């Protein structure tokens, strides 16, 4: 029995264990960027011939070969390392081409008996030239085989793919980078060994993560490049999309490094459940192989998507941090290196590899030249050589005689003795002479490389450039110098509380109840403006940008939508899409068809948007008028605003006070104007009263409400008579055509007349004539009454004014070709 000091034994055993973990397991070598298990996997797969141009083999076979010959540890550790080198989301440049389920960020891989693998093309650049004595070989664990101490590594794998590992008393965590950028930096260090860190960082501005995303703030990266330690924040790539007419969503297409969608969904649900997150109604993972990652986070109506996104960055893994700790093995010792030191260590290793390879190739070519020269001597006197061989008793005697007669070396003499007769033709001599010249040229080139440090470095740099040309890909990760999106989030109910804490302008989580306009266009598009500036200045617009209704409301208010069948539907203003800001009239091209918000019956259309807190006037095609009292049900989303007779439809609806003027225009060019006060407000169930008396076969084609300030006499020829620009005089626009003519074959005539020229008549009367028909005309195809129209150019611009009267003195119109520019912001 031997007495052992426990303290000494524990200290000795722990040191041996710590050294084994640090050197043989957890930390990568700074030269090839690989841990021992990774290096052994790649080397063994290379020895097995698992090249990219050959078929895959079972992963279990590779694991078994590695475990049995080079790595005497558990198969799980070997397979885990092999899987990581095949995962495109773990490595920026995968080294193994996996076939089968190699796992995801949320799920592990299938068992090795189910998956297959082979080397990727990039791995060949790491293992190339191993048979040319470029690195030292060391014994394996049982001294029966040898393995490379380090791989030749034709590109800086440690910087490109990064590394992670936990040793005893230390750990490493290195970020992946872009291959093209890293090689450019390595070429700079080769060309100028005294290059500064600032010059290198111009080529390598920051990590390039496999998953893309955004890096916010670069100061921590600069610290890591300078000292080997630092940290940075990564954010998901998120876009705000209109999922439907009513729904807005945050669509995530890229996540932070090593963050899976299931983890994000789980954290979002937990944060919503604990009331940390507000404004999120649903989270859906639509990721597939065809479109890649697509995580849709639906935002509730009334919430600011930007503010919700800021909350998500704060409480979920959509924003994550990465700590850089560049601990790596240099000459067998763990060291913490900055970017410049890592590049210098790699460049030194690569120069050593290329030098040793050059020495090996030079030796091979000199040996071959030596044999070729001996063969040429033999062929020049081949008959005598054959005679010497035939007359010798044994091979040794023949070798001695050849060496003494022709002054050959033993190697040359042996090679001549091994010649075959077919190699003694005249063509062999020509080929040998050409080979001799080629070998002498190659030897001169190799010796020049070994004799010049500049040529050697140039060769290393050019080979790096070839690797970059073959494997480099565009940058995936966006780098932001500062956090431009980090605005403080606050509730709309308490903006003052957040204002004291925020350094930047606070983002309100809920959309504020600010004034705005709800707009309906003639083509049936509805939208709202972001603010409530007066709709006065004309600007660039599309053909359909004609306001049929423009209701002043608030962002969180309600309004009514009147349909042609007499229904009124309650709409939430906040549900309407917001038009982009514009210097003039809003461009309604960003609007959404009304059918996305309303359930319309067959043939039913939306005719107007109206406020719910005022009396609204409606007019129908059969000449019925009604003013509806604002006594709408609070517990219903739609109701009847007027009881229509069979075949009747609502033409228009608008707020109407007692002092306003109501106007009907019929197809037979009859116009009737009367005071709104003669139409008493009625309840929802009422059918209205007679508005204009129609002749047989006639029907109303226009109904409108003209404010009192515009219905009286006014100067519509003023320079500011543009839409809403101060003109007080309303005008009547009528366009006549032929009912029997085919569409597009009759141009018709148009007429513009001040409304003040038409006398007011009593309700339920026939009105007065507004347009005299010419030959081929028998009806009005369009009529409109409102503020003075503007003149629109073919490019979409709107002029400031147009004379109020545009027609003949006899009451007929002018040819439509002369009046096609008549248009106004309310002209439907």
Catalytic choice (17, 19, 114, 141): 114
pLDDT at 541: 55
For the chain, the maximum distance between any two Cα atoms, rounded to a whole number of angstroms, is 144
pLDDT at 242: 83
Rounded to the nearest 5 percent, the helix, strand and coil shares of the chain are 35, 25, 45
Long-range pairs for 755-758 at CB < 8 Å and ≥24 separation? 755/661, 755/663, 755/673, 755/706, 755/710, 755/711, 755/729, 755/730, 755/731, 755/785, 756/711, 756/712, 756/713, 756/714, 756/729, 756/730, 758/671, 758/673, 758/732
Instruction: Please identify every stretch of the chain with a pLDDT value under 70, giving residue numbers as ranges.
Output: 1, 9, 11, 13-24, 423-424, 426-427, 483-508, 534-545, 582-585, 712-728, 740-747, 788-828
Q: What is the pTM of this model?
A: 0.74
**How distant, in Å, are the alpha carbons of 12, 188, 254, 423 from that of 32?**
31, 19, 29, 45
Residue 285 token pair:
């993972």
pLDDT at 371: 92
Per-residue model confidence as pLDDT tens digits over 483-518: 654 433 433 433 333 333 334 445 667 777 788 888
DSSP state of 447: H
Residues 794, 729 contacting (CB under 8 angstroms): no
CA 163/CA 36 separation, integer angstroms: 13
CA 416/CA 377 separation, integer angstroms: 10
DSSP 3-state of 651: strand
**How distant, in Å, are the alpha carbons of 4, 539, 548, 563, 797 from that of 588?**
90, 12, 12, 20, 15
pLDDT at 23: 62
pLDDT at 747: 56
Pairing label, strands 214-216, 478-480:
parallel
Chain center to CA of 820:
44
CA 492/CA 29 separation, integer angstroms: 55
Residues 362, 443 contacting (CB under 8 angstroms): yes
The number of residues in the chain equals 828
Residue 313 token pair:
């960055």
Report all structural domains of the chain as residue ranges with CATH numbers, in order of start.
Answer: 18-187 (3.90.199.10), 658-828 (2.120.10.90)
- To the nearest 10 degrees (0 to 180), the angle between helices 339-380 and 219-227 is 50
pLDDT at 582: 67
pLDDT at 506: 56
In the chain, pLDDT over 70 holds for what percent of residues?
84
3-state secondary structure labels for all residues of 386-439: HHHHHHCCCHHHHHHHHHHHHCCCHHHHHHHHCCCHHHHCHHHHHHHHHHHHHH
Per-residue model confidence as pLDDT tens digits over 424-463: 676 578 888 999 999 999 999 999 999 999 999 999 999 9
CA 750/CA 822 separation, integer angstroms: 9
pLDDT at 340: 96
Select from 333, 325, 326, 324 the least CA-distant residue to 22: 333
pLDDT at 419: 81
DSSP state of 269: H
pLDDT at 536: 57
Active site residue 114: yes
Per-residue model confidence as pLDDT tens digits over 74-120: 899 999 999 999 999 999 999 999 999 999 998 999 999 999 999 99
Q: Find the Cα–Cα–Cα–Cα dihedral 284, 595, 548, 774, rounded to 10°.
A: 150
- Sequence-ordered strand ranges (E) for 713-764: 730-737, 749-754
């Amino acid at each position: 029995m031997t007495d052992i000091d426990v303290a000494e034994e524990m200290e000795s055993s722990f040191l041996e264990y710590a050294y084994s973990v640090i050197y043989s397991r957890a930390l990568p070598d700074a030269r090839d960027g690989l841990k021992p298990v990774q290096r052994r996997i790649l080397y063994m797969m290379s020895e097995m011939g698992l090249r990219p141009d050959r078929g895959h083999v079972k992963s279990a076979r590779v694991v078994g070969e590695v475990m049995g010959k080079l790595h005497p540890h558990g198969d799980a550790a070997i397979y885990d390392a092999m899987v990581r080198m095949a995962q495109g989301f773990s490595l920026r440049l995968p080294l193994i081409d996996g076939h089968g389920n190699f796992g995801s960020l949320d799920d592990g891989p299938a068992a090795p008996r189910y998956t297959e693998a082979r080397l990727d093309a990039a791995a060949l650049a790491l293992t190339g030239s191993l048979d040319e004595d470029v690195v030292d070989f060391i014994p394996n664990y049982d001294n029966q085989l040898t393995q490379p101490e380090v791989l030749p590594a034709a590109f800086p794998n440690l910087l490109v793919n990064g590394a992670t590992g936990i040793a005893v008393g230390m750990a490493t965590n290195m970020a992946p980078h872009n291959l093209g950028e890293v090689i450019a930096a390595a070429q700079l260090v080769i060309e100028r060994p005294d290059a500064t860190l600032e010059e290198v960082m111009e080529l390598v501005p920051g990590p390039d993560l496999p998953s893309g995303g955004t890096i916010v703030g670069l100061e921590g990266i600069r610290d890591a490049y300078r000292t080997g330690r630092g940290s940075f924040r990564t954010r998901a790539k998120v876009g705000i999309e209109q999922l439907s007419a009513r729904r807005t969503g945050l669509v995530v297409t890229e996540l932070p490094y090593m963050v899976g969608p299931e983890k994000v969904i789980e954290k979002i649900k937990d944060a919503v459940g604990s009331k940390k997150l507000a404004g999120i109604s649903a989270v859906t993972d639509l990721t597939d192989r065809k479109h890649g990652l697509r995580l849709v986070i639906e935002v509730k109506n009334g919430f600011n998507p930007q503010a919700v996104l800021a909350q998500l960055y704060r409480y979920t893994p959509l924003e994550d941090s990465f700590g850089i700790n560049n601990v790596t093995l240099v000459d067998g010792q763990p060291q913490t290196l900055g970017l410049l030191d890592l590049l210098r260590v790699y460049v030194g290793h690569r120069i050593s590899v290329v030098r040793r390879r050059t020495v090996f190739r030079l030796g091979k070519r000199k040996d071959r030249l030596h044999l070729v020269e001996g063969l040429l001597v033999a062929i020049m006197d081949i008959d005598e050589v054959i005679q010497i061989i035939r007359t010798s008793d044994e091979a040794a005697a023949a070798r001695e005689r050849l060496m003494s007669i022709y002054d050959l070396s033993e190697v040359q003499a042996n090679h001549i003795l091994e010649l075959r007769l077919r190699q003694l033709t005249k063509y062999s001599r020509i080929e040998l002479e050409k080979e001799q010249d080629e070998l002498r040229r190659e030897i001169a080139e190799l010796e020049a490389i070994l004799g010049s440090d500049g040529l050697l470095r140039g060769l290393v740099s050019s080979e790096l450039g070839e690797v970059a040309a073959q494997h480099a890909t565009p940058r995936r990760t966006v780098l932001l110098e500062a956090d431009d999106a980090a605005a403080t989030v606050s509730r709309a109910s308490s903006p003052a509380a957040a204002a004291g804490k925020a350094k930047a302008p606070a983002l309100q989580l809920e959309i504020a109840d600010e004034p705005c306009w709800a707009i309906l266009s003639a083509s049936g598009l509805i939208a709202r403006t972001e603010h409530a500036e007066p709709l006065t200045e004309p600007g660039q617009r599309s053909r359909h940008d004609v306001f049929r209704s423009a209701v002043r409301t608030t962002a969180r208010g309600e309004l009514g939508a009147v349909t042609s069948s007499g229904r009124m539907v309650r709409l939430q203003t906040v549900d309407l899409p917001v038009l982009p800001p514009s210097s003039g009239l809003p461009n309604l091209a960003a609007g959404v068809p009304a059918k996305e918000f309303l359930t319309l019956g067959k043939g039913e259309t939306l005719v107007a948007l109206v406020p719910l807190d005022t009396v609204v006037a409606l007019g129908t095609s059969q000449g019925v008028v009604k003013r509806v009292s604002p006594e709408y049900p609070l517990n219903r989303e739609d109701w009847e605003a007027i009881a229509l007779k069979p075949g009747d439809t609502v033409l228009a609806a608008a707020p109407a006070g007692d002092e306003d003027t109501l106007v009907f225009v019929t197809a037979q060019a009859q116009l009737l104007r009367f005071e709104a006060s003669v139409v008493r407000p009625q309840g929802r169930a009422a059918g209205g009263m007679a508005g204009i008396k129609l002749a047989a076969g006639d029907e109303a084609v226009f109904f409108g409400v003209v404010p009192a300030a515009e219905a009286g006499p006014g100067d519509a020829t003023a320079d500011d008579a543009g839409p809403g620009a101060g003109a007080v005089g309303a005008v009547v626009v009528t366009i006549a055509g032929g009912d029997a003519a085919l569409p597009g074959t009759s141009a018709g005539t148009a007429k513009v007349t001040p409304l003040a020229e038409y006398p007011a008549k009593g309700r339920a009367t026939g009105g007065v004539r507004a347009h005299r028909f010419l030959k081929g005309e028998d009806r009005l195809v369009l009529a409109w009454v409102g503020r003075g129209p503007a003149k629109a150019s073919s490019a979409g611009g709107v002029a400031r004014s147009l004379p109020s009267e545009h027609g003949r003195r006899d009451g007929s119109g002018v040819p439509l070709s002369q009046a096609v520019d008549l248009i106004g912001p309310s002209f439907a």
